[in-house]
Amino acid sequence: MIIGVIAAMDEELEILLPKLNLDRKEIKAQMEFNFGTLFGKQVVLVRCGIGKVNAAVCTQILIDDFNVNTVINVGVAGGIGKDVFPGDVVIGSNLVQHDVDTTAFGDRIGQIPRLDTYEFVCNEELVLLAKKACEELNENNHYAGRIVTGDQFIADSKKIQWLEEEFKAMACEMEGGSIAHVCYLNSIPFVVIRSISDNANNGAHMDYEKFKPIAVKNSSTIIENMLKLI
């Protein structure tokens, strides 16, 4: 098994990279892919960059050039569910791309035209492993639910409320749905895990610089625990 670990921030990889027994490093599409062994598992660690295209390109490279057969994506998201607060973790049960809109042709908003699925479902076993890995984050709650993705940084509380009403989503971000889409097309099991930075739906805000070390700690702990459990 080769596991692709896609992080959204350099800081998350900075904790994991020193623990990686590095075999080789390759630059592709301006992304640095670090192949080696971590906690006894073969992994490729990579920061994909921001947005759906970067994330999709990164995922396909992992599959085609590094032969990964499992993908774990960690990063930061805005909370949507009213019970979700900064520092909490949302594990994707499924993902939908909220910025896809072909309703003019009769499609449901979020539906990729002519694709045989509406939502991209995370692998059940990986979701369970992520839940177990989160149990060591004693200071924060963790949830499983829908995460929505779009090429938009959403700070408007009305848009957040719309995402909850329209998609019943728990969190929103900018990469996970496209990673999920690529994994679905390639029949690769995946899971998307997000640390929550703020929630305009319940008035919970945290300064990003204050939140960043929390997110990094959460993400690195979850990855470490998952790799040990796999």
Tens of pLDDT, residue by residue over 160-200, are 999 999 999 999 999 999 999 999 999 999 999 999 887 66
Catalytic residue among 88, 164, 175, 198: 198
The answer to whether residues 119 and 208 touch, using CB atoms and an 8 Å cutoff, is no
Work out the pLDDT band at 213, boundaries 50, 70, 90: confident
Highest mean pLDDT among 83-92, 136-145, 167-176: 167-176
Q: How far is residue 98's CA from residue 181's CA, in Å, rounded to a whole number?
A: 13
Catalytic residue status for 64: no
Determine the longest span between alpha carbons in the chain, in angstroms. Answer: 51
The residues, any chain, with a CB within 8 Å of residue 217's CB and separated by 6 or more, are none
Question: Domains in the chain and their CATH numbers?
Answer: 2-229 (3.40.50.1580)
Q: Which letter does DSSP use for residue 15 in this model? A: H
Catalytic residue status for 165: no
Residue 91 has pLDDT above 90, yes or no: yes
- Per-chain mean pLDDT for the chain: 93
Catalytic residue among 12, 88, 173, 175: 12
Tokens 């390109």 belong to 57
- Would you state the pLDDT for residue 217? 85
